[in-house]
Amino acid sequence: MAAEERSRRESLGGMANSRSGESEATEDASRILVVDDDAVLLDVYTLLLEAAGFVVTTSVGAHQGFEILAEASRQRHSFDLLITDFDMPGNRGNVLIKAVRELEKDDRVSDQDRLPILLLTGVALSTLSRREQDDLMTSGVSYLNKTDANDRLVPTVKRILRKHSA
């Protein structure tokens, strides 16, 4: 690991954890960043997604997730999908989504090339403020309730990626 990468990970407090799933994923496998404040759920989501052949990187928290995305953008190693929780300490999911969309504006990303986002949360959208709903439900954002994750996560991810690549 390069000194710069080691330093970046240390500055994130060890919160960012990359998992490659190399034994199951191929070089052309879709790369997914999963952001959640619950380490146990991150493990469950990683197992489900890696078993389906995806390459998974995880982050505990929105700030670290954004840093991983920004670094990937700088190195031209983009992700194919962002999966994020909404209710996290510090920055909430809507703040992360808004920051990602701003990063894409800065990089002049076309609407078709915008990063698809899956909001995977236990929070019902109807309980959020109008502003939070507006931040979340921008173009390219899908929603899945965590209670459905075990059965619907992989099919939902496949549908989103298929739709995005069409």
pLDDT tens digits along 7-28:
333 333 333 344 433 334 445 7
How far is 76 from 70, CA to CA, in rounded Å?
10
Q: What is the mean pLDDT of residues 101-117?
A: 78
Q: Which pLDDT score, from 0 to 100, does residue 111 have?
A: 66
Does the pTM exceed 0.75? yes
Q: Which pLDDT score, from 0 to 100, does residue 127 have?
A: 85
What domains lie within the chain, and their CATH numbers? 12-165 (3.40.50.2300)
Q: What is the mean pLDDT of residues 67-73?
A: 89
pLDDT at 6 exceeding the cut of 60: no
Burial class (CB within 10 angstroms; exposed 0-12, middle 13-18, buried 19+) of 90: exposed
Cα radius of gyration (the chain)? 15
% of the chain residues with pLDDT over 90 = 40
